Every structure is written in C-alpha cells, then in structure tokens.
Structure 1
Amino acid sequence: MEPRKRHVFLLWMLVCAGSTQAIEPISTSIAVGMAAALTGFLASYQNIFYYFHECCRPEWISFNSSGLKVDLEQKLFGQHIASRIVLKALTGFMNNAQPKKPLVLSLHGSTGTGKNFVSQIIAENIYKEGMDSSFVHVFTSELHFPHASKIDTYKSQLQQWIKGNVTNCGRSMFIFDEMDKMHPGLIDSIKPYLEYYDKVDGVCYRKAIFIFLSNAGGESITQIALDFWRAGQDRQTIDLKDLEVPLSLSVFNNKQSGLWHTSLIDKNLVDYFVPFLPLEHKHIVQCALAEMEAKGMVKNHEVADQLARDLVYFPKAERVFSVKGCKTIESKLDYYT
C-alpha cells in the first residue's frame, strides 16, 4: 500500500473505531500526543473524506488526454475517422474552462463496430471510476423507455433525471444507447439543456457530455465504404467529409430512429456525427488478439485468423465486411481455445 494511502487508512480506522474502551489503556500523555498528531494530520488533509467517497472534484474527475489517445490508437480497430474526431472533440472540450454549450456526440455505425467501446474509453479517461462512476449515466431505449403510450411521462422523467444529476455535478456524462429504437420526439425534451444558455432554471449544463449511440445511418456508412473498396481505394482515404452530410441526412430522415426530424439536428446542437466503418477480416483478427490479451492468454494468430474466417461477411459474394463486427468475439473465443 502506498505511504499516503496507508496513513489515511490508519487515520480512518482510528476515527471510525474511536470508542472510549478502545483508548482506555493508553496513558494520558500518549493520548494527548496522539490528539495533537491527529489534529495536525487533519489540518493537512482537510478533504480526507473525499479520498474515500467519489465526489465531483478533480481527485475523481480529471481528463487524461494522453491516455485517451493511446487507448484509441491501441484498442479501437479500423476506425481512423472516429478516433480522430473523438480525440479532438474531447480534448478541445475538456481543456476549455468555459465551454459555450455541452458536448454532444452522435455515434453511428453497424453492430460491433465499437460505439459502446468508445463510450467506455471516454469514461475511463475522464472519471476515476470509469463506467462505474456515479456521474456516468446510461439510458437504454428498450429498458428505460419501452412504451410509446408513456412518452409524455418519459419526457418529464428524463428532464428531471438530467437536471438532478447535473445539479449534483456539472461534469456529468449521459449515454443514450439504442437511439435507433427510441420513440421519435422523446429526445427533443432535453433540447434546452443542449443549447447555448448560461443556465436553465438556475442550472448550468455547459460542462456536461451527451453521447448518442445508434445503428441508424449504418447502411449509408457501409455503402460509402463499399464504394471505396470496389473502386480500389484504400480504406484510410475515407474522410469525414465523405460521410458527414449523407450520415446526418440519413439519420434525420429515418422514421425508425429516435433522431427522426429532431430539433437537435435541425438546430445544429449535435457537435459531431461520428461514423463507425464496417469491420474487415483483419480488424476481426485484431479484436480476437486483443481479447486474448485481456483474458491473460498467449496471443495465437492462427486461432484469431480461424475465428475471423468463420464469421459471416457481406456482400455474400465478396465477403468484405463482418456482419456482427467484433461483438461476438469474446463468447466465440472460448470455443476456439
């Protein structure tokens, strides 16, 4: 145990266990000495209780720009556009002491391309507790908002949840998963919190982060990636400008999406539409090797390659992109090893 942690832990034990019976055998002079030492120690650690309990302070919330860069480079495969956007967006926002509005990212792509994983990476490089932080809030459409008939109730609840949590900590993060399954119109209820306002009902939302995850737009992203592949162009040459407009239009006009005709897009409140490209065979191999390492296994390229080859790819004749991306790699790895 680190010296500082050991001292704080001993002090905590002393404070918590400080009954009369526990110190009765100690002589008066020793007790007085301990009291003096304890007073001095407490003066040095005025914020001792923050050391043990997560709170909205720099000890628990601190942006690690270099850590985010390394994680995106070494753990996210086949997503050069998404990596670049996320790193620049987060770095600029977190280093701005007075942002004009909350950061709003909308992550789009087919299943297993890394959208949830990137959300996790972001959380781990801002919050000491990562996704387990009490300041990271995840909403899943089918779990939290299942019934279309209750949309008005959901709107009110969602506003209250966000307001309450941002009141508690301005540096809160909200992740909305399965946006393609959310009832159209529901997400518009949080529009005032994403605007360029100093405060809304006395609460400042400017330092909060909102992340939307959706499969909507995945088809348009895949088609563009396929066009590049068929033209013999390198995947790395695909740029955001090739995807941003068709992606935003596809999402805005998708009646099955929670972002259908949303004012968040109409009013340009989404800062970045982040496209996730479909994954090829080589990326699946990288995912399998990374999973082996995460499980403490020796990396086996032959096993990773065989696992990747056995997956389903599309288009059927060309077998270019994995249907499920890296989503089933963890469970399948047990079968191959």
Structure 2
Amino acid sequence: MNVTNCLLLCLGGLLFCTHFCQSIEPLTIGAAIGISTVGLTYFKSQTYCRFYECCDDRSIPANITALRLSLEKTLYGQHIVAQHIIPALTAHFSAQSKSRKPLVLSFHGQPGTGKNFVADQIAKALYLEGSNSGYVVKYLGRSDFPQAEFVGIYKERISNEVRSHLRSCPRSLFIFDEVDKMPSGVLDTLTSLVDYNAFTDGTDHTKAIFIFLSNTAGTHIADHLGNSMKAGKLREDTRLSDYEPLLQRAAYNMDGGMKKTSLIEAHVIDHYIPFLPLEKAHVVQCLEAEFRRWDKTPDRDIINDILSSSISYDRMHGLFVSSGCKTLEKKVAMAIY
C-alpha cells in the first residue's frame, strides 16, 4: 500500500493503518502520521467544531470591543473598572503578548456594585456560549468550600480540576466567587498554578484567566471614597492607585479565602480592581435599565416608590446606597406585574 492510501486510512481512524504500512520507511511513516494529525485537526475544525464548542477562535472569539461597548452602556458608577479591565484583557489576548503567566484579577466591593455582572460580561464577550461555556469554570465560596476542616480536600480538588481544564483548553476562564466566604488557605493551591512557568508537563497556562470576586474591603473602599468626596475630590477623579494598596492589605488581613494567602505573598495577582459604592443617581440608572430590559418605558412613579421604600444609605457618609443595585431586578419585575 502506498503512503497516500495509508494516510487516508489513518485519517479515517483505522488503527490497523500501520499494519498495512510496515513496508514503508519509518521516516515516511512518521511524516505520514504527522500529516494525518494535522489532517485530523483540520477535519475536526471543519466538521465537529463548526457545530459544537471547541477550544478555537470560533468558540472563543475574545471580542474585547463588544465588552467595551457593553460596559460603556450597562455599567454604572464604575469608571475605574472600565478604565482598567479593557486594557488588561486587550494586552492578555494581544498577538504580541509574551506573558509567561495567566491573567489574574481580584474584584473587590460591596454587594450590588457589579462584580458578578462584570465577570459575566467578560465571559459573554470571550466565549461564544458565555457563562454556559464548558471553558468557563465557576466556584462559589459558601457552597463549594463550606467547612474549614476540609481545606486540604478542597485544595486538592481545585488543583486537579484547574489542571484538567487547562489541559482541555489553555484559554479557560476560572471565576472564584464569594472569596470572602471561603476558609483561609483554600486558594493557596492556586499560587503555583498561576505563577510564572508553572507547569513542567508542557501544559500551556499563560492564556488562562483567573478572576476572584470578594466583598472584602467594601467598607474600606466606601470610606476612602467618602472621605475623598467630602474633601472636594470628584468621584470620577479617583484612580486605581488610590485603592490597590488598600485592597491588597485588606484582603491579606481580613477573614476569608485570601487571608495570609501565598497568592498575595507571591505577588501573582496582577490587578486589584475596586468596585465603588453606588450613589442614588446610579441606582436610578439601574432601575431604568431594568425597565428597558422588560421593553417598558421607565415609570417615574414606580422608580420613586422603590427609591423611597427600599433604598437605605450608609451610616458613615450618607452618600452611598447600602445594597447597590442588588434586588432591583425583582422590585421592578414585581411592579410590572
């Protein structure tokens, strides 16, 4: 049998190809197998991967432009988030990127300020299937890691699952929500996985993204912003550098999954992103957006009723809505029905 026919058999998945090709030179067989691997990859991309999710550009378009436009339209009161998330992701996915480690982001802020919303928006922009993608892995602190005495088991689970997902698709996204509700030490196992040149088995981890979501330091952010505003500084004039050292210290010292963690000690978290507390004007924007989501014109009477009956402000400064935009979805839905 000639090389061409042998190759065709290999492409057809016939395991006995080499049995028919024993008379062919070893180097020729090696070349044929190499070509067949390329052929099978091409065959898969033109058949299976056209209809099902694969770790390729079709399933992972990484549409940063769409993310930027979405955040500009739907994210309220978070100028620092918008200013830094887009450049960080753009650099990470750049063809010129020479990063030797994954991108690691840590989101901090009070409930209702948009941490989960932005994480979901990132997943939606990066993956064709959004948060439902098989390459988006999400952990919840309270449900996935509820008991401190099982930290060792949790660490082994995280290590095995992260490694498995990265072998399946190096461009995976890992989201760890409710980090402040996790036992201290559970995230230490990630340090070696997100550091420089972490894997010795050839697994590529440099294209992955890790995002940590935490309420830790939410009050610190609010106090810092409130004091700045009372001193005459505009909210929009505050910068990431005003908050990053504060967030790093608070995350390291306060109870939760990052307390005394080697993730912080090893400096593998690339960006600490503050989600600022929301003011009344931002909550009004959230309410208006909810009406539009229902294809309804915002009803001022309902909005004013929700603001007067369901909104409370922080005791320290009296500037910020305690629950942010959380629960507003259900308030508007109930009013509409």
TM range (shorter): 0.7 to 0.9
AA in 1 matched with 2:164:
G
Alpha-carbon deviations, 1:106-158, whole Å to 9, x = none? 00000000000000010111000000100000000111111212111111111
- CA separation of 1:318 and 1:218: change in aligned 2, threshold 3 A: closer
Letter in 2 for 1:273: Y
In structure 1, C-alpha distance between the alignment counterparts of 2:45 and 2:194, rounded to whole Å: 36
**Who is 1:231 aligned against?**
231
Equivalent-residue separation in structure 1 for 2:74 and 2:300 (angstroms): 17
Distance (whole Å) between structure 2 residues aligned to residue 45 and residue 153 of structure 1: 37
Superposed counterparts of 1:199-278, under 5 Å:
199-254=199-254, 256-278=255-277
Structure 2 stretches lacking a partner, 5+ long: 1-41
Counterparts of 1:46 and 1:104 in 2: how far apart (Å)?
30
| 1:327 CA displacement | 0.9
| Structure 1 residue 300 corresponds to structure 2 residue 273 | no
The separation in 1 between residues aligned to 2:263 and 2:250, in whole angstroms, is 14
Please name the residue that 2:111 is paired with: 111
Match status 1:184 vs 2:184: yes
Describe the SS at the equivalent of 2:310. Answer: coil
SS in 1 for 2:138: strand
Contact preservation (8 Å) 2:226, 2:317: no
Alignment partners' CA distance in 2, 1:181 and 1:114: 18
Residues 311 and 322 of structure 1 are in contact (CA less than 8 Å); yes or no, is this contact kept in structure 2? Answer: no
Q: Which residue of 1 aligns with 2:8?
A: none
* Alpha-carbon distance between aligned partners in 2 of 1:135 and 1:203, rounded to the nearest angstrom: 16
Q: Which residue of 2 aligns with 1:57?
A: 56
Query: Retained in 2: the 8 A contact 1:108–1:214?
Result: yes
CA separation in 1, counterparts of 2:324 and 2:247?
20
* Cα shift at 1:318: 5.6
Q: Which amino acid is the alignment partner of residue 294 of structure 1?
A: R
2:148 touches 2:184 (CA, 8 Å); kept in 1?
A: no
Paired residues, number: 294
1:155-180 Cα distance to aligned partner (Å, 9 max, x none)? 11111100001100000000000000
Once the two structures are superposed, residues 84-123 of structure 1 have per-residue CA deviations (whole angstroms, 9 ceiling, x without a partner) of: 1111111111114542110000000000000000000101
Q: Is the 8 A contact 1:109 1:276 kept in 2?
A: yes
Give 1:70 shift: 0.6
Give the counterpart letter for 2:81 in structure 1: A
Which residue matches 2:39?
none
Distance, in Å, in 1 between the alignment partners of 2:290 and 2:300 is 12
Give the 5 Å matches for 1:1-337: 47-96=46-95, 97-197=97-197, 199-254=199-254, 256-316=255-315, 319-337=318-336
CA pair 192-234 structure 1, distance change in 2 beyond 3 A: same
**Distance in 1 separating the partners of 2:144 and 2:321:** 30
Query: Does the CA-based 8 Å contact 1:198-1:206 persist in structure 2?
Result: no
Q: Note closer, same or farther for the CA distance 1:292–1:318 as it changes in structure 2 (3 Å cut).
A: same
Assess if the C-alpha contact under 8 Å between 1:116 and 1:213 holds in 2.
yes
Counterpart of 1:63, as a letter, is A
Query: Does the CA contact (< 8 Å) of 2:108 and 2:274 recur in 1?
Result: yes
Q: Distance in 1 between the 2:171 and 2:99 partners?
A: 12
Deviation at 1:308, TM superposition (A): 2.8
Provide the C-alpha distance between the structure 2 equivalents of 1:103 and 1:135, rounded to a whole number of angstroms. Answer: 15
- Partner of 2:202, secondary structure, is coil
Q: Which moved more, 1:73-82 or 1:232-241?
A: 232-241
Quick one: structure 1 residues 148 and 314, their matched pair in 2 at CA, closer, same or farther if it must change by over 3 Å?
Answer: same
Q: 1:297 to 1:207 in 2, by over 3 A?
A: same
Give the TM-score of the pair, scaled to structure 2.
Answer: 0.83
TM-score, normalization by structure 1: 0.83
Deviation at 1:219, TM superposition (A): 1.2
What is the DSSP-based 3-state SS (H/G/I as helix, E as strand, rest coil) of the residue aligned with 1:87?
A: helix
* 2:36 paired residue number: none
- Percent identical pairs in the alignment equals 35
Query: What amino acid maps onto 1:49 in structure 2?
Result: Y
Is the partner of 1:113 in helix, strand or coil? coil
In 1, the alpha carbon distance for the partners of 2:316 and 2:101 equals 47
Runs of 5+ consecutive residues of structure 1 not aligned to the other structure: 1-42
